[in-house]
């Protein structure tokens, strides 16, 4: 099964050691080395996107790097819009909490009070906000009940849930399980309670008060012309970057499709740490752990991950197609790192850690090199045995100098499949299975490669292994049905 992609071909030639910058403390001193650090990474094509670094609510770095469209070479500008993916939920949650502040809704009111078309009487708004509703994810629902629906919308989702009433995965409030359905329904609740379209409410009551001039909700129609919006790209090592085919594939909003620019980031941070949108006590609900009916504390608040009670640090991650967003905030100090990319930049977590360490401790280290660059250097000359050997040597001799992740090898394997180097792909997927034997995804990928090669029995074996680890793997189940026919 396909996952994140590694970076571009030139990354192969920038394998270098750990760079340690001198310690620094003051804001003015910090900004210059931070910029030099990020400028270097961008020149080496190790980062493509937006970065905002804030210390004690003072902006230290606010920069755009790379291309918004690799086909035309269009640079990312301060006004270029980036898709926040599931981080869009933060704004939907703030809209609900704002309406709660205004006395227009009760967080414990039944969902059916606002959406009477539905039959889920036990689900409340609090359950939706905390991902404790038990509702299945809409991607799974559309694949089962309406696979041919082009650009599904929130209304399509509501109609499907009303007609089909799929069973809940668990009793509401008993556990936490992420589902994109939750915030899509909350967007409908906002529209009905506010008496205006969801997009209009966020623009007038959330974005405008914060001064986020470019921010908007985007419900793609499939016919709009490209404006100043970054496109999602799959960047590769072995071949040229390609437009992500999932770009603009859904009109669903609430849990997706909020767009922001570099100009919006610092305004967003200021509004979040202040009281622009909701009262301080209400905002605290967003990051306070929700109590489950089991008596345990959930890992989520009302719309955001639960903050660490010891440090008040809050980590968020969002993806949509090739867009990836990482945000780390210290709610007590106003220190934060925002990273947005339209290329699924590998090593993004390590980059976030490096920037966070620089701001909080004064020491900056270059994040490790993606191991995919080392492996790909051998694959470029067609020698898969040397590629596997290079991986093992790097892991044995310098494990901290490289980024070892399942997704790195998985992405390289799919590049090889796309280039019809099926035998080489199988060897890379085999290596991945050896390294990550408890991952359902590595066996799913092996199954696909063997199916492409025409070795049906081997494909069946690996798809079954994938399902044994993760019985809900829909792709493996569908492929097995085809293979055993």
- Residues with active-site annotation: 86
The token pair at 142 is 């559309």
DSSP state of 226: P
- φ, ψ for residue 199, nearest 5 deg: -60, -40
Buried/exposed code over 92-110 (b: 16+ C-beta within 10 A; e: otherwise): bbbbbbbbbeeeebebeeb
What whole-number distance in Å separates Cα of residue 128 and Cα of residue 464? 34
Beta 402-403 vs 369-370: how paired, if at all? Answer: parallel
Nearest Cα neighbor of 212 from 273, 274, 265 is 265
Instruction: Please count the other Cβ atoms lying within 10 Å of the Cβ belonging to residue 365.
Output: 15
DSSP string of 37-67, one letter each residue: HHHHHHHTTS--EEEEEEETTEEEEEEEESE
DSSP 3-state of 166: coil
281 token code pair: 């006590």
H/E element, 370:
strand 369-370
For the record, the structure tokens of 440 come out as: 């359902």
Spatial separation of the C-alpha atoms in residues 353 and 347, rounded to whole Å:
10
| Residues 182/131, Cβ–Cβ less than 8 Å | yes
Q: What is the CB neighbour count within 10 angstroms for residue 274? A: 13
Q: Which two tokens stand for residue 74?
A: 């269009």
């Amino acid at each position: 099964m396909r996952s994140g992609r590694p970076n571009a071909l030139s990354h192969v030639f920038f394998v270098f050691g750990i760079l340690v910058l001198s310690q620094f403390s003051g804001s003015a001193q910090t900004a210059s080395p931070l910029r030099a650090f990020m400028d270097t990474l961008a020149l080496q094509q190790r980062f493509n996107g937006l970065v905002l670094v804030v210390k004690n609510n003072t902006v230290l770095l606010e920069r755009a790097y790379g291309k918004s469209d690799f086909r035309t070479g269009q640079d990312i500008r301060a006004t270029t819009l980036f898709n926040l993916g599931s981080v869009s939920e933060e704004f939907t949650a703030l809209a609900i909490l704002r309406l709660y502040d205004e006395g227009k809704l009760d967080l414990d009111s039944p969902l059916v009070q606002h959406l009477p078309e539905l039959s889920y009487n036990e689900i409340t708004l609090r359950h939706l906000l905390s991902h404790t509703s038990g509702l299945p994810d809409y991607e799974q629902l559309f694949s089962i009940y309406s696979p041919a629906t082009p650009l599904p919308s929130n209304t399509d989702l509501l109609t499907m849930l009303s007609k089909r009433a799929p069973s809940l995965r668990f009793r509401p409030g008993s556990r936490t399980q992420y589902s994109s359905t939750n915030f899509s329904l909350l967007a409908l609740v906002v529209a009905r309670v506010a008496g205006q379209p969801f997009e209009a409410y966020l623009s007038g009551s959330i974005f405008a008060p914060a001064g986020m001039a470019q921010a908007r909700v985007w419900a793609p129609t499939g016919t709009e012309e490209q404006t100043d919006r970054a496109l999602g790209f799959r960047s590769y090592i072995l071949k040229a970057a390609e437009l992500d085919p999932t770009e603009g594939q859904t009109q669903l909003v609430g849990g997706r499709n909020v767009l922001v620019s570099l100009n919006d980031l610092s305004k967003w941070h200021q509004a979040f740490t202040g009281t622009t949108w909701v009262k301080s006590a209400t905002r605290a609900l967003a990051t306070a752990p929700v109590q489950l009916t089991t008596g345990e504390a959930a890992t989520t608040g009302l719309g955001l991950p639960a903050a660490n009670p010891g440090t008040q640090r809050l980590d968020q991650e969002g993806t949509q197609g090739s867009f990836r967003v990482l945000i780390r905030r210290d709610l007590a100090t106003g220190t934060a790192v925002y990273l947005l990319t339209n290329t699924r930049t590998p090593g993004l977590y390590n980059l976030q850690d490096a920037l966070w360490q620089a701001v909080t401790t004064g020491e900056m280290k270059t994040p490790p090199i993606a191991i995919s660059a080392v492996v790909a250097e051998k694959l470029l000359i067609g020698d898969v045995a040397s590629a596997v050997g290079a991986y093992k040597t790097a892991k044995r001799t310098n494990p901290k100098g490289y980024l070892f992740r399942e997704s790195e090898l998985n992405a390289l394997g799919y590049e090889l499949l796309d280039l019809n180097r099926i035998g080489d792909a199988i060897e890379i997927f085999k290596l991945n299975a050896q390294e990550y034997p408890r991952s359902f995804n590595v066996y799913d990928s092996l199954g696909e490669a063997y199916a492409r090669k025409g070795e049906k029995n081997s494909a069946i074996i690996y798809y079954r292994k994938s399902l044994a680890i993760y019985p809900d793997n829909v792709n493996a189940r569908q492929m097995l049905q085809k293979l055993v026919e």
